[in-house]
Amino acid sequence: MKQLLTGNEAVVQGAYEAGVTYACAYPGTPSTEILENIAAYKEEITAEWAPNEKTALESSIGACYAGARSLAAMKMVGVNVAADPLFSFSYSGVNGGLVLVSADDPGMHSSQNEQDNRYYAKFAKLAMLEPSNSQECRDMIKAAYEISEKFNTPILFRMTTRVSHSKSLVEAGERTPIEKKPYVKNLQKYDLVPAVSRVLHRKVEERLKDLEQFSNETDINFIEWNDKAIGIISSGVAYEYAREVFGNSASYLKLGFTYPLPMEKIQQFAAQVKTLYVIEELEPYLEEQIKAAGIACIGKEKIPVLGELTPDIIAKVLLNKENSLIAYDDSSVANRPPSLCAGCPHRGFFYALAKRKNIMISGDIGCYGLGGAEPLLAKDMSVCMGASISVGHGAQQTFTKFQDKYRVVATIGDSTFFHTGVNSLMHIAYNQSKTVTCILDNRITGMTGHQENPGTGYTLQGKPTKIVDIPELCKAIGIEHIRIINPNDLTEVNDALDWALSLDEPSVIITRWPCVLKKHSTEDKSEFGDYRTNCDVDLNKCIGCKACIKTGCPALRFDKPIKKVKIDSAQCIGCGVCQQVCPVKAIAKVAK
Per-residue pLDDT of the chain (592 residues; tens, 9 = 90+): 899 999 999 999 999 999 999 999 999 999 999 999 999 999 999 999 999 999 999 999 999 999 999 999 999 999 999 999 999 999 999 999 999 999 999 999 888 899 999 999 999 999 999 999 999 999 999 999 999 999 999 999 999 999 999 999 999 999 998 999 999 999 999 999 999 999 999 999 999 999 999 999 999 999 999 999 999 999 999 999 999 999 999 999 999 999 999 999 999 999 999 999 999 999 999 999 999 999 999 999 999 999 999 999 999 999 999 888 788 877 777 777 788 999 999 999 999 999 999 999 999 999 988 999 999 999 999 999 999 999 999 999 999 999 999 999 999 999 999 999 999 999 999 999 999 999 999 999 998 999 999 999 999 999 999 999 999 999 999 999 999 999 999 999 999 999 999 999 999 999 999 999 999 899 999 999 988 899 999 999 999 999 999 999 999 999 999 999 999 999 999 999 999 999 999 999 987 6
End-to-end CA distance of the chain: 47
Cα–Cα distance measured from residue 160 to residue 273, given in angstroms and rounded to the nearest whole number: 29
State how far the alpha carbon of 449 is from the alpha carbons of 19, 93, 283, 457, 519, in Å. 28, 34, 30, 17, 11
Residue 222 gets which letter from DSSP? E
254, 266 contact by CB (below 8 A): no
Strand partners, 3: 170
Cα–Cα distance measured from residue 549 to residue 138, given in angstroms and rounded to the nearest whole number: 49
Which is it for the CA torsion 410, 416, 418, 422, positive or negative? negative
* Rg of the chain taking only CA atoms, in angstroms: 27
* pTM of the shown model: 0.91
Strand partners, 360: 408
Give every CB contact of residue 545 below 8 A, 6+ residues apart in sequence.
Answer: 583, 584
Give every CB contact of residue 24 below 8 A, 6+ residues apart in sequence.
Answer: 35, 47, 48, 49, 50, 55, 56, 57, 59, 60, 70, 71, 72
Cα–Cα distance measured from residue 89 to residue 353, given in angstroms and rounded to the nearest whole number: 44
Strand partners, 49: 25
